[in-house]
Amino acid sequence: MLTAHRQSGFTLVELVTTIILIAILSVVVIPRLFTTSSYSAFTLREEFIAELRKVQIMAMNNQDRCYRLSVTSTQYQVSRYNGRFNEGCSGTPARTDAAQTFQGGASLMLTNTTTTNFSVEFNAQGVPIVNGSLCSGRCITVLADETQFIAIESEGYIHAG
């Protein structure tokens, strides 16, 4: 009497499919779980450039107001003051936007002085005044998983440095 002996195991298709799934997971998902990506430095740089440009446009379009972008070691915030730029952004702000907190230990600092508390104001022509003086070239350093720079040209053009 012959007994049918059935073998157990995986087919070649099942093994190849499993290897492909493991490869996809190891390339895409696992690095995101165990390391912090330098994406946060790029994100903060682009977000802050957009915020600078927004404040610059508001200052050029509303010449009866003064706009200030204040930065601390943990956040940044936009404030609007009544009065022209040449009178200075002083007194109590007429309006203050919600503070934007930096995530994951990221921060901004002035490149030449390494100070993390500073402000940026724009005159009616869109020229930025950083902590009371003109800035040209790499002005702001973005510190996160990687170091990125924000350049502000003397004419007012703001871009990744």
Other C-beta atoms lying within 10 Å of the C-beta of residue 136: 12
Q: What is the pLDDT of residue 87?
A: 61
CA nearest to 158, candidates 141, 137, 142, 143: 137
Q: What is the pLDDT of residue 64?
A: 83
- CA angle 51-77-146, nearest 5°? 60
- CA angle 136-140-143, nearest 5°? 155
User: Which structure tokens are listed for 128?
Assistant: 């930025």
- Give the Cα separation of 151 and 137 in Å (integer): 5
Q: What is the pLDDT of residue 17?
A: 95
Q: What is the pLDDT of residue 53?
A: 93
Q: What is the pLDDT of residue 31?
A: 66
Q: DSSP letter at 52?
A: H
Helix (H, G, I), strand (E, B) or coil at 153: coil
| Binned average pLDDT, 10 residues per bin, the chain of 161 residues | 69 92 84 62 90 91 87 91 72 87 87 88 84 84 89 88 82
Q: What is the pLDDT of residue 38?
A: 54
In one letter, which amino acid is 159? H
Q: What is the pLDDT of residue 48?
A: 92
Helix (H, G, I), strand (E, B) or coil at 88: coil
In one letter, which amino acid is 131? N
In one letter, which amino acid is 158? I
Q: What is the pLDDT of residue 71?
A: 93
- Would you give the end-to-end CA distance of the chain in angstroms? 83
CATH (residue range 39-160) = 3.55.40.10
Q: What is the pLDDT of residue 72?
A: 92
Residues 6+ apart with CB under 8 A from 67: 55, 58, 59, 78, 79, 80, 81, 89, 121, 122
Label residue 148 exposed, middle or buried (CB < 10 Å: 0-12, 13-18, 19+).
Answer: buried
